[in-house]
Structure 1
Amino acid sequence: MTCGQRMRSEFRLKSFGLTYNDRQVFTRTPVSLLLQRFFKDWLAQNNRLPFVLYRAAVCLYQVIVFSIIHGVLAQFPLKGLLYLTEWGYILLTLHTLLSAGLCFADYYKSRFQRGATSNDNTASDVAMATGSTIVLTTTGVSQDSAQTLPIPWYYKLYWVLYNVSFAGGICITILFYALLRDENSALSILIHAMNSVTIVIDVMVSGLPCRLLHFVYPLTFGVVYILFTVIYWAAGGKGLYDYPFIYPYLDYGGRPVLAAIVAVLGVLVAVPLCHCIVFALVVARESLVHLLKRRRQSPNSQNDNVTAL
Protein backbone atom coordinates (compact mmCIF):
# COMPACT_ATOMS: atom_id res chain seq x y z
CA MET A 1 0.00 0.00 0.00
CA THR A 2 1.43 3.35 -1.04
CA CYS A 3 1.46 6.39 1.22
CA GLY A 4 -1.35 8.00 -0.78
CA GLN A 5 -3.51 4.89 -0.57
CA ARG A 6 -2.86 4.66 3.15
CA MET A 7 -3.95 8.26 3.76
CA ARG A 8 -7.07 7.88 1.61
CA SER A 9 -8.06 4.81 3.57
CA GLU A 10 -7.69 6.78 6.81
CA PHE A 11 -10.38 9.27 5.80
CA ARG A 12 -13.14 6.82 5.01
CA LEU A 13 -16.28 7.15 7.10
CA LYS A 14 -15.97 3.63 8.51
CA SER A 15 -12.58 4.54 9.96
CA PHE A 16 -14.44 6.25 12.79
CA GLY A 17 -15.62 2.85 13.95
CA LEU A 18 -13.99 0.07 15.96
CA THR A 19 -14.08 -2.77 13.44
CA TYR A 20 -10.99 -4.76 12.54
CA ASN A 21 -10.46 -8.01 10.68
CA ASP A 22 -7.98 -9.59 13.07
CA ARG A 23 -7.93 -9.48 16.84
CA GLN A 24 -4.42 -10.95 17.02
CA VAL A 25 -2.76 -7.61 16.27
CA PHE A 26 -4.04 -6.41 19.65
CA THR A 27 -2.17 -9.08 21.60
CA ARG A 28 0.95 -9.81 19.53
CA THR A 29 3.99 -7.94 18.32
CA PRO A 30 5.42 -7.52 14.81
CA VAL A 31 8.85 -6.89 16.34
CA SER A 32 9.44 -10.67 16.54
CA LEU A 33 10.97 -10.32 13.07
CA LEU A 34 13.77 -8.30 14.64
CA LEU A 35 14.12 -10.59 17.67
CA GLN A 36 14.43 -13.64 15.43
CA ARG A 37 17.73 -12.32 14.09
CA PHE A 38 19.22 -12.68 17.59
CA PHE A 39 17.22 -15.54 19.16
CA LYS A 40 16.25 -17.55 16.10
CA ASP A 41 16.30 -21.06 17.56
CA TRP A 42 14.59 -20.16 20.84
CA LEU A 43 11.90 -18.03 19.17
CA ALA A 44 11.04 -20.85 16.82
CA GLN A 45 9.25 -22.47 19.76
CA ASN A 46 8.50 -19.41 21.93
CA ASN A 47 7.91 -16.64 19.41
CA ARG A 48 5.34 -14.80 21.56
CA LEU A 49 6.75 -15.36 25.03
CA PRO A 50 9.01 -12.24 25.02
CA PHE A 51 6.02 -10.01 24.34
CA VAL A 52 4.01 -11.69 27.11
CA LEU A 53 6.89 -11.07 29.53
CA TYR A 54 7.08 -7.48 28.35
CA ARG A 55 3.37 -6.98 29.00
CA ALA A 56 3.76 -8.47 32.48
CA ALA A 57 6.72 -6.20 33.29
CA VAL A 58 4.95 -3.04 32.09
CA CYS A 59 1.80 -3.95 33.98
CA LEU A 60 3.79 -4.50 37.19
CA TYR A 61 5.64 -1.21 36.71
CA GLN A 62 2.43 0.73 36.10
CA VAL A 63 0.68 -0.72 39.16
CA ILE A 64 3.69 -0.02 41.40
CA VAL A 65 4.00 3.59 40.18
CA PHE A 66 0.26 4.10 40.55
CA SER A 67 0.46 2.86 44.14
CA ILE A 68 3.46 5.08 44.91
CA ILE A 69 1.69 8.15 43.53
CA HIS A 70 -1.38 7.58 45.66
CA GLY A 71 0.74 6.81 48.69
CA VAL A 72 2.54 10.15 48.36
CA LEU A 73 -0.70 12.03 47.68
CA ALA A 74 -2.65 10.30 50.44
CA GLN A 75 -3.25 13.66 52.11
CA PHE A 76 -5.33 14.71 49.07
CA PRO A 77 -7.37 11.54 48.45
CA LEU A 78 -10.32 13.18 46.70
CA LYS A 79 -8.94 16.44 45.38
CA GLY A 80 -6.29 14.52 43.48
CA LEU A 81 -9.10 13.38 41.21
CA LEU A 82 -9.59 16.97 40.06
CA TYR A 83 -6.43 16.92 37.96
CA LEU A 84 -6.03 15.87 34.34
CA THR A 85 -2.82 14.04 35.22
CA GLU A 86 -4.76 11.79 37.58
CA TRP A 87 -7.44 11.08 34.97
CA GLY A 88 -4.80 10.26 32.37
CA TYR A 89 -2.80 8.01 34.69
CA ILE A 90 -5.89 6.08 35.75
CA LEU A 91 -6.77 5.43 32.09
CA LEU A 92 -3.17 4.46 31.27
CA THR A 93 -3.14 2.01 34.19
CA LEU A 94 -6.46 0.50 33.08
CA HIS A 95 -5.09 0.15 29.56
CA THR A 96 -1.98 -1.59 30.87
CA LEU A 97 -3.99 -4.02 33.00
CA LEU A 98 -6.36 -4.86 30.15
CA SER A 99 -3.52 -5.26 27.64
CA ALA A 100 -1.70 -7.68 29.93
CA GLY A 101 -4.87 -9.66 30.57
CA LEU A 102 -5.72 -10.00 26.87
CA CYS A 103 -2.14 -10.88 25.99
CA PHE A 104 -1.97 -13.61 28.64
CA ALA A 105 -5.36 -14.98 27.59
CA ASP A 106 -4.35 -15.15 23.93
CA TYR A 107 -1.01 -16.77 24.76
CA TYR A 108 -2.44 -19.53 26.93
CA LYS A 109 -5.38 -20.09 24.61
CA SER A 110 -3.02 -20.70 21.70
CA ARG A 111 -0.86 -23.04 23.82
CA PHE A 112 -3.94 -25.02 24.83
CA GLN A 113 -5.04 -25.31 21.22
CA ARG A 114 -1.57 -26.44 20.13
CA GLY A 115 -1.58 -29.07 22.85
CA ALA A 116 -4.97 -30.34 21.69
CA THR A 117 -3.74 -30.95 18.13
CA SER A 118 -0.64 -32.45 16.60
CA ASN A 119 -0.12 -29.46 14.31
CA ASP A 120 2.28 -26.92 15.85
CA ASN A 121 2.12 -24.47 12.95
CA THR A 122 1.69 -20.84 14.03
CA ALA A 123 -0.55 -19.95 11.10
CA SER A 124 -3.00 -22.73 11.84
CA ASP A 125 -2.95 -21.72 15.50
CA VAL A 126 -4.12 -18.21 14.66
CA ALA A 127 -6.65 -19.58 12.19
CA MET A 128 -8.24 -21.68 14.94
CA ALA A 129 -8.32 -18.66 17.24
CA THR A 130 -9.96 -16.36 14.70
CA GLY A 131 -11.78 -18.70 12.35
CA SER A 132 -9.94 -17.42 9.27
CA THR A 133 -6.80 -17.70 7.21
CA ILE A 134 -3.96 -15.35 8.08
CA VAL A 135 -0.83 -14.00 6.44
CA LEU A 136 2.03 -12.01 7.93
CA THR A 137 1.92 -8.24 7.47
CA THR A 138 3.74 -5.21 8.80
CA THR A 139 1.38 -4.96 11.73
CA GLY A 140 1.69 -8.61 12.73
CA VAL A 141 -1.01 -10.70 11.07
CA SER A 142 -3.81 -10.01 8.64
CA GLN A 143 -6.91 -12.06 8.02
CA ASP A 144 -8.44 -13.37 4.87
CA SER A 145 -11.47 -11.12 4.54
CA ALA A 146 -13.59 -14.01 3.28
CA GLN A 147 -14.11 -15.18 6.87
CA THR A 148 -13.96 -12.57 9.58
CA LEU A 149 -15.21 -12.43 13.12
CA PRO A 150 -16.09 -9.12 14.83
CA ILE A 151 -13.76 -8.25 17.65
CA PRO A 152 -15.41 -8.59 21.09
CA TRP A 153 -16.50 -5.57 23.09
CA TYR A 154 -13.54 -5.82 25.46
CA TYR A 155 -11.15 -5.53 22.51
CA LYS A 156 -13.03 -2.42 21.42
CA LEU A 157 -12.74 -1.05 24.97
CA TYR A 158 -9.02 -1.82 24.85
CA TRP A 159 -8.72 0.06 21.54
CA VAL A 160 -10.56 3.10 22.91
CA LEU A 161 -8.37 3.12 26.03
CA TYR A 162 -5.34 2.89 23.76
CA ASN A 163 -6.41 5.98 21.80
CA VAL A 164 -7.46 8.01 24.83
CA SER A 165 -4.65 7.13 27.25
CA PHE A 166 -1.84 7.39 24.71
CA ALA A 167 -2.86 10.66 23.05
CA GLY A 168 -3.97 12.00 26.44
CA GLY A 169 -0.71 10.98 28.12
CA ILE A 170 1.46 12.72 25.52
CA CYS A 171 -0.82 15.78 25.72
CA ILE A 172 -0.46 15.88 29.52
CA THR A 173 3.34 15.83 29.18
CA ILE A 174 3.37 18.65 26.60
CA LEU A 175 0.87 20.86 28.46
CA PHE A 176 2.58 20.39 31.81
CA TYR A 177 6.04 21.35 30.61
CA ALA A 178 4.69 24.13 28.37
CA LEU A 179 2.33 25.79 30.87
CA LEU A 180 3.24 24.75 34.40
CA ARG A 181 6.73 23.35 34.90
CA ASP A 182 6.66 24.67 38.45
CA GLU A 183 8.47 21.69 39.90
CA ASN A 184 10.98 19.10 38.80
CA SER A 185 10.71 16.54 41.58
CA ALA A 186 11.09 12.81 41.07
CA LEU A 187 7.34 12.35 41.46
CA SER A 188 6.63 15.02 38.85
CA ILE A 189 9.04 13.43 36.37
CA LEU A 190 7.49 10.04 37.04
CA ILE A 191 3.93 11.10 36.26
CA HIS A 192 4.52 13.84 33.69
CA ALA A 193 7.48 12.53 31.67
CA MET A 194 7.94 8.79 32.20
CA ASN A 195 4.32 8.20 31.24
CA SER A 196 5.09 9.38 27.69
CA VAL A 197 8.28 7.31 27.61
CA THR A 198 6.31 4.15 28.36
CA ILE A 199 3.68 5.17 25.79
CA VAL A 200 6.24 5.62 23.00
CA ILE A 201 7.91 2.30 23.81
CA ASP A 202 4.57 0.51 23.82
CA VAL A 203 3.54 1.99 20.47
CA MET A 204 6.80 0.85 18.88
CA VAL A 205 6.75 -2.75 20.14
CA SER A 206 3.04 -3.58 20.07
CA GLY A 207 0.96 -4.37 17.03
CA LEU A 208 -2.06 -2.21 17.84
CA PRO A 209 -3.38 -0.32 14.82
CA CYS A 210 -4.04 3.41 14.89
CA ARG A 211 -6.52 5.35 12.78
CA LEU A 212 -6.38 9.09 12.27
CA LEU A 213 -10.13 9.51 12.69
CA HIS A 214 -9.96 7.89 16.11
CA PHE A 215 -8.90 11.30 17.38
CA VAL A 216 -12.59 11.68 18.28
CA TYR A 217 -12.07 9.46 21.33
CA PRO A 218 -9.30 11.47 23.03
CA LEU A 219 -11.12 14.61 21.86
CA THR A 220 -14.26 13.45 23.69
CA PHE A 221 -12.14 12.76 26.76
CA GLY A 222 -10.76 16.33 26.60
CA VAL A 223 -14.23 17.83 26.24
CA VAL A 224 -15.52 15.83 29.21
CA TYR A 225 -12.64 17.03 31.39
CA ILE A 226 -13.12 20.71 30.42
CA LEU A 227 -16.87 20.46 31.11
CA PHE A 228 -16.06 18.90 34.46
CA THR A 229 -13.76 21.81 35.39
CA VAL A 230 -16.42 24.35 34.38
CA ILE A 231 -19.15 22.62 36.38
CA TYR A 232 -16.85 22.20 39.37
CA TRP A 233 -15.92 25.91 39.30
CA ALA A 234 -19.54 27.01 38.85
CA ALA A 235 -20.53 24.90 41.85
CA GLY A 236 -17.98 26.74 43.99
CA GLY A 237 -15.40 23.97 44.07
CA LYS A 238 -11.86 24.64 45.24
CA GLY A 239 -8.54 23.24 44.12
CA LEU A 240 -5.65 22.15 46.32
CA TYR A 241 -4.92 24.49 49.21
CA ASP A 242 -8.39 26.04 48.62
CA TYR A 243 -7.39 27.88 45.46
CA PRO A 244 -10.45 29.06 43.46
CA PHE A 245 -9.25 27.05 40.44
CA ILE A 246 -7.89 23.62 39.60
CA TYR A 247 -5.16 24.92 37.29
CA PRO A 248 -4.05 28.59 37.20
CA TYR A 249 -4.58 28.60 33.42
CA LEU A 250 -8.17 27.40 33.93
CA ASP A 251 -9.18 30.16 36.35
CA TYR A 252 -12.66 30.84 34.96
CA GLY A 253 -13.42 33.45 37.61
CA GLY A 254 -10.16 35.40 37.71
CA ARG A 255 -8.98 35.11 34.09
CA PRO A 256 -11.93 33.88 32.01
CA VAL A 257 -10.52 34.87 28.58
CA LEU A 258 -7.23 33.05 29.17
CA ALA A 259 -9.09 30.04 30.56
CA ALA A 260 -11.35 29.90 27.49
CA ILE A 261 -8.38 30.14 25.11
CA VAL A 262 -6.43 27.42 26.91
CA ALA A 263 -9.48 25.15 27.05
CA VAL A 264 -10.32 25.52 23.35
CA LEU A 265 -6.75 25.19 22.12
CA GLY A 266 -6.07 22.29 24.45
CA VAL A 267 -9.07 20.30 23.27
CA LEU A 268 -9.26 21.24 19.58
CA VAL A 269 -5.54 21.56 18.80
CA ALA A 270 -3.32 19.83 21.37
CA VAL A 271 -5.34 16.62 21.68
CA PRO A 272 -5.71 15.93 17.92
CA LEU A 273 -2.04 16.85 17.43
CA CYS A 274 -0.97 14.34 20.07
CA HIS A 275 -3.12 11.67 18.43
CA CYS A 276 -1.32 12.45 15.15
CA ILE A 277 1.97 11.89 16.98
CA VAL A 278 0.79 8.42 18.01
CA PHE A 279 -0.34 7.74 14.44
CA ALA A 280 3.05 8.85 13.08
CA LEU A 281 4.82 6.49 15.50
CA VAL A 282 2.62 3.60 14.34
CA VAL A 283 3.38 4.37 10.67
CA ALA A 284 7.10 4.51 11.51
CA ARG A 285 6.85 1.14 13.26
CA GLU A 286 5.06 -0.43 10.29
CA SER A 287 7.63 0.97 7.86
CA LEU A 288 10.50 -0.36 9.99
CA VAL A 289 8.97 -3.83 10.25
CA HIS A 290 8.29 -3.85 6.51
CA LEU A 291 11.93 -2.91 5.84
CA LEU A 292 13.21 -5.63 8.18
CA LYS A 293 10.90 -8.15 6.55
CA ARG A 294 12.22 -7.27 3.09
CA ARG A 295 15.83 -7.48 4.25
CA ARG A 296 15.13 -10.81 5.91
CA GLN A 297 13.60 -12.20 2.72
CA SER A 298 16.29 -10.85 0.37
CA PRO A 299 18.97 -13.49 1.19
CA ASN A 300 16.37 -16.23 0.75
CA SER A 301 15.42 -14.83 -2.64
CA GLN A 302 19.07 -14.72 -3.71
CA ASN A 303 19.60 -18.30 -2.56
CA ASP A 304 16.56 -19.40 -4.54
CA ASN A 305 17.97 -17.74 -7.67
CA VAL A 306 21.32 -19.44 -7.20
CA THR A 307 19.62 -22.79 -6.73
CA ALA A 308 17.55 -22.25 -9.85
CA LEU A 309 20.70 -21.53 -11.87
Structure 2
Amino acid sequence: MILTIPQMNFGHWCIFLTHWGVILITITSGSAALLSLKVCIGDPNRTSTDLQLYVKIYWVLYNITVPLAVLITAFYWTFLTGADVDFAVDPVLDVFIHAVNAVVMIVLVVFSRTPSRLLHFLHPLGFGIIYVIFSVIYYAAGGLSPFGAVYIYPMLDWSSPGIAMITVVGSAIFLILGHVLIVLIALGRDKLSNRFFKDTHSMNIYSDAYN
Protein backbone atom coordinates (compact mmCIF):
# COMPACT_ATOMS: atom_id res chain seq x y z
CA MET A 1 0.00 0.00 0.00
CA ILE A 2 2.79 2.41 0.96
CA LEU A 3 4.54 1.86 -2.38
CA THR A 4 1.53 3.13 -4.33
CA ILE A 5 1.25 6.49 -2.54
CA PRO A 6 4.43 8.22 -3.84
CA GLN A 7 3.28 7.65 -7.42
CA MET A 8 0.81 10.56 -7.22
CA ASN A 9 -0.54 13.31 -4.99
CA PHE A 10 -2.11 11.74 -1.89
CA GLY A 11 -5.37 13.62 -2.50
CA HIS A 12 -5.66 12.02 -5.93
CA TRP A 13 -4.49 8.66 -4.58
CA CYS A 14 -7.55 8.53 -2.34
CA ILE A 15 -10.10 8.88 -5.15
CA PHE A 16 -9.45 5.56 -6.88
CA LEU A 17 -11.45 2.45 -5.98
CA THR A 18 -8.28 0.40 -6.49
CA HIS A 19 -6.66 2.19 -3.57
CA TRP A 20 -9.75 1.84 -1.40
CA GLY A 21 -9.40 -1.86 -2.15
CA VAL A 22 -5.69 -1.85 -1.23
CA ILE A 23 -6.54 -0.33 2.15
CA LEU A 24 -9.29 -2.89 2.75
CA ILE A 25 -7.09 -5.83 1.73
CA THR A 26 -4.36 -4.64 4.10
CA ILE A 27 -6.79 -4.26 7.02
CA THR A 28 -8.66 -7.50 6.28
CA SER A 29 -5.51 -9.60 5.87
CA GLY A 30 -4.00 -8.15 9.03
CA SER A 31 -7.24 -8.71 10.94
CA ALA A 32 -7.40 -12.33 9.74
CA ALA A 33 -3.85 -12.95 10.96
CA LEU A 34 -4.49 -11.35 14.35
CA LEU A 35 -7.80 -13.17 14.79
CA SER A 36 -6.19 -16.51 13.94
CA LEU A 37 -3.39 -15.80 16.40
CA LYS A 38 -5.88 -14.92 19.12
CA VAL A 39 -7.78 -18.17 18.55
CA CYS A 40 -4.53 -20.19 18.61
CA ILE A 41 -3.35 -18.73 21.92
CA GLY A 42 -6.83 -18.44 23.43
CA ASP A 43 -9.11 -20.99 25.06
CA PRO A 44 -9.52 -23.93 22.61
CA ASN A 45 -12.58 -25.13 24.53
CA ARG A 46 -14.50 -21.87 24.15
CA THR A 47 -17.99 -22.80 22.90
CA SER A 48 -19.90 -19.53 23.23
CA THR A 49 -21.90 -18.60 20.15
CA ASP A 50 -21.84 -14.90 21.06
CA LEU A 51 -19.75 -13.03 18.51
CA GLN A 52 -17.20 -10.58 19.82
CA LEU A 53 -17.29 -7.14 18.20
CA TYR A 54 -13.87 -7.60 16.59
CA VAL A 55 -15.07 -10.83 14.95
CA LYS A 56 -18.13 -9.07 13.53
CA ILE A 57 -15.96 -6.25 12.19
CA TYR A 58 -13.58 -8.73 10.54
CA TRP A 59 -16.50 -10.68 9.05
CA VAL A 60 -17.98 -7.54 7.47
CA LEU A 61 -14.55 -6.51 6.13
CA TYR A 62 -14.09 -10.01 4.69
CA ASN A 63 -17.52 -9.93 3.02
CA ILE A 64 -16.70 -6.58 1.42
CA THR A 65 -13.07 -7.09 0.46
CA VAL A 66 -13.17 -10.46 -1.32
CA PRO A 67 -15.74 -9.66 -4.05
CA LEU A 68 -14.43 -6.09 -4.28
CA ALA A 69 -10.92 -7.35 -5.05
CA VAL A 70 -12.30 -9.55 -7.82
CA LEU A 71 -14.35 -6.64 -9.21
CA ILE A 72 -11.32 -4.32 -9.23
CA THR A 73 -9.24 -6.91 -11.09
CA ALA A 74 -11.96 -7.66 -13.66
CA PHE A 75 -12.86 -3.98 -14.17
CA TYR A 76 -9.26 -2.86 -14.60
CA TRP A 77 -8.15 -5.51 -17.10
CA THR A 78 -11.43 -5.30 -19.04
CA PHE A 79 -11.93 -1.53 -19.33
CA LEU A 80 -8.82 0.39 -18.28
CA THR A 81 -5.81 -1.36 -19.78
CA GLY A 82 -6.75 -0.12 -23.25
CA ALA A 83 -7.99 3.31 -22.17
CA ASP A 84 -6.66 6.53 -23.70
CA VAL A 85 -5.19 7.44 -20.32
CA ASP A 86 -2.56 5.06 -18.95
CA PHE A 87 -3.69 4.18 -15.42
CA ALA A 88 -0.64 2.00 -14.75
CA VAL A 89 1.70 3.83 -12.38
CA ASP A 90 4.32 1.08 -12.63
CA PRO A 91 4.15 -2.23 -14.58
CA VAL A 92 5.12 -4.45 -11.63
CA LEU A 93 3.10 -2.52 -9.07
CA ASP A 94 0.21 -2.53 -11.53
CA VAL A 95 0.08 -6.33 -11.48
CA PHE A 96 0.25 -6.43 -7.70
CA ILE A 97 -2.65 -4.04 -7.08
CA HIS A 98 -4.81 -5.20 -9.99
CA ALA A 99 -4.19 -8.97 -10.04
CA VAL A 100 -2.35 -10.22 -6.98
CA ASN A 101 -4.97 -8.47 -4.85
CA ALA A 102 -7.69 -10.86 -6.04
CA VAL A 103 -5.40 -13.89 -5.73
CA VAL A 104 -4.60 -13.01 -2.11
CA MET A 105 -8.29 -12.76 -1.24
CA ILE A 106 -9.19 -16.03 -2.98
CA VAL A 107 -6.36 -17.73 -1.08
CA LEU A 108 -7.85 -16.32 2.14
CA VAL A 109 -11.25 -17.78 1.22
CA VAL A 110 -9.82 -21.22 0.43
CA PHE A 111 -7.49 -21.58 3.42
CA SER A 112 -9.54 -19.89 6.13
CA ARG A 113 -12.71 -21.17 7.75
CA THR A 114 -14.51 -17.83 7.51
CA PRO A 115 -18.14 -18.61 6.62
CA SER A 116 -20.03 -16.83 3.86
CA ARG A 117 -23.77 -16.18 3.87
CA LEU A 118 -25.88 -15.32 0.84
CA LEU A 119 -27.63 -12.40 2.53
CA HIS A 120 -24.29 -10.80 3.29
CA PHE A 121 -24.13 -9.59 -0.32
CA LEU A 122 -25.52 -6.41 1.25
CA HIS A 123 -22.07 -5.66 2.68
CA PRO A 124 -20.13 -5.33 -0.61
CA LEU A 125 -23.17 -3.78 -2.27
CA GLY A 126 -23.42 -1.16 0.46
CA PHE A 127 -19.72 -0.37 0.15
CA GLY A 128 -20.12 0.00 -3.61
CA ILE A 129 -22.97 2.45 -3.09
CA ILE A 130 -20.75 4.50 -0.78
CA TYR A 131 -18.09 4.74 -3.51
CA VAL A 132 -20.68 5.72 -6.13
CA ILE A 133 -21.98 8.50 -3.86
CA PHE A 134 -18.39 9.65 -3.33
CA SER A 135 -17.75 9.73 -7.10
CA VAL A 136 -20.91 11.81 -7.68
CA ILE A 137 -19.96 14.30 -4.96
CA TYR A 138 -16.39 14.50 -6.29
CA TYR A 139 -17.69 15.23 -9.79
CA ALA A 140 -20.26 17.78 -8.58
CA ALA A 141 -17.56 19.56 -6.55
CA GLY A 142 -15.42 19.97 -9.67
CA GLY A 143 -12.83 17.39 -8.71
CA LEU A 144 -10.38 16.26 -11.39
CA SER A 145 -8.34 13.11 -11.86
CA PRO A 146 -4.51 13.25 -11.76
CA PHE A 147 -4.70 13.41 -15.56
CA GLY A 148 -6.96 16.48 -15.57
CA ALA A 149 -10.12 14.59 -16.53
CA VAL A 150 -13.53 15.39 -15.02
CA TYR A 151 -14.02 11.71 -14.16
CA ILE A 152 -12.20 9.28 -11.90
CA TYR A 153 -12.69 6.43 -14.36
CA PRO A 154 -13.82 6.81 -18.01
CA MET A 155 -16.71 4.39 -17.44
CA LEU A 156 -17.80 6.39 -14.39
CA ASP A 157 -18.06 9.79 -16.08
CA TRP A 158 -21.06 11.59 -14.57
CA SER A 159 -21.08 14.10 -17.42
CA SER A 160 -22.50 11.09 -19.32
CA PRO A 161 -24.89 9.76 -16.67
CA GLY A 162 -26.30 7.02 -18.89
CA ILE A 163 -22.94 5.30 -19.30
CA ALA A 164 -22.11 5.90 -15.64
CA MET A 165 -25.36 4.27 -14.50
CA ILE A 166 -24.79 1.27 -16.76
CA THR A 167 -21.38 0.90 -15.10
CA VAL A 168 -22.91 1.19 -11.64
CA VAL A 169 -25.65 -1.38 -12.30
CA GLY A 170 -23.23 -3.76 -14.01
CA SER A 171 -20.78 -3.48 -11.13
CA ALA A 172 -23.56 -4.08 -8.59
CA ILE A 173 -24.61 -7.24 -10.41
CA PHE A 174 -20.97 -8.35 -10.58
CA LEU A 175 -20.52 -7.81 -6.83
CA ILE A 176 -23.64 -9.85 -6.05
CA LEU A 177 -22.63 -12.69 -8.37
CA GLY A 178 -19.08 -12.54 -7.02
CA HIS A 179 -20.42 -12.88 -3.49
CA VAL A 180 -22.54 -15.87 -4.53
CA LEU A 181 -19.44 -17.48 -6.05
CA ILE A 182 -17.52 -16.92 -2.81
CA VAL A 183 -20.37 -18.58 -0.88
CA LEU A 184 -20.16 -21.63 -3.17
CA ILE A 185 -16.37 -21.80 -2.84
CA ALA A 186 -16.70 -21.61 0.95
CA LEU A 187 -19.28 -24.43 0.94
CA GLY A 188 -16.99 -26.62 -1.15
CA ARG A 189 -14.03 -25.75 1.07
CA ASP A 190 -15.92 -26.72 4.22
CA LYS A 191 -17.12 -30.03 2.74
CA LEU A 192 -13.59 -30.99 1.71
CA SER A 193 -12.20 -29.86 5.06
CA ASN A 194 -14.77 -31.89 7.02
CA ARG A 195 -14.10 -34.92 4.84
CA PHE A 196 -10.31 -34.99 4.94
CA PHE A 197 -9.58 -33.21 8.23
CA LYS A 198 -11.89 -34.76 10.79
CA ASP A 199 -10.19 -33.00 13.69
CA THR A 200 -10.66 -29.53 12.22
CA HIS A 201 -12.06 -27.05 14.72
CA SER A 202 -13.63 -23.71 13.95
CA MET A 203 -15.35 -21.02 15.93
CA ASN A 204 -19.10 -21.55 16.06
CA ILE A 205 -20.62 -18.36 14.70
CA TYR A 206 -23.99 -19.62 13.55
CA SER A 207 -25.72 -17.00 15.62
CA ASP A 208 -29.24 -16.11 14.50
CA ALA A 209 -28.47 -12.53 15.44
CA TYR A 210 -25.96 -12.19 12.64
CA ASN A 211 -26.98 -14.71 9.98
Alignment TM class, shorter chain as reference:
0.7 to 0.9
Residue 170 of structure 1 aligns to which amino acid in structure 2?
A: V
CA RMSD of aligned residues (A): 1.8
* Residue in structure 2 matched with residue 209 of structure 1 by the alignment: 115
1:167 pairs, out of 43, 51, 67, with 67
> What's the CA shift for 1:105?
2.2
Task: Map 1:1-309; keep pairs closer than 5 Å.
Answer: 66-71=1-6, 73=7, 75-110=8-43, 126-127=44-45, 130=46, 132=47, 148-182=48-82, 185-253=91-159, 255-267=160-172, 269-293=173-197
Normalization by structure 1: what TM-score?
0.59
Q: Distance in 1 between matches of 2:123 and 2:144?
A: 28
Normalization by structure 2: what TM-score?
0.85
Q: Which has the larger radius of gyration?
A: 1
Residue 260 of structure 1 aligns to which amino acid in structure 2?
A: M
Unaligned segments of structure 2, at least 5 residues? 200-211
Q: Distance in 2 between matches of 1:109 and 1:289?
A: 22
Deviations 1:240-285 (A, max 9, x none): 12211100111111x2211111112212x01101111211211121
> What's the CA shift for 1:186?
1.3
* Residue in structure 2 matched with residue 139 of structure 1 by the alignment: none
Percentage of pairs with the same residue: 31
Q: Distance in 1 between matches of 2:185 and 2:81?
A: 26
> What's the CA shift for 1:293?
4.3
Deviations 1:69-100 (A, max 9, x none): 224x2x32111110110111111111112122
Q: Distance in 1 between matches of 2:139 and 2:5?
A: 24
Q: Distance in 1 between matches of 2:105 and 2:155?
A: 26
Q: Distance in 1 between matches of 2:30 and 2:108?
A: 13
Deviations 1:204-255 (A, max 9, x none): 11111110110000000001101110111011111112211100111111x2
Q: Distance in 1 between matches of 2:49 and 2:122?
A: 25
Residue 158 of structure 2 aligns to which amino acid in structure 1?
A: Y
Secondary structure of the residue that 1:158 maps to in structure 2? helix
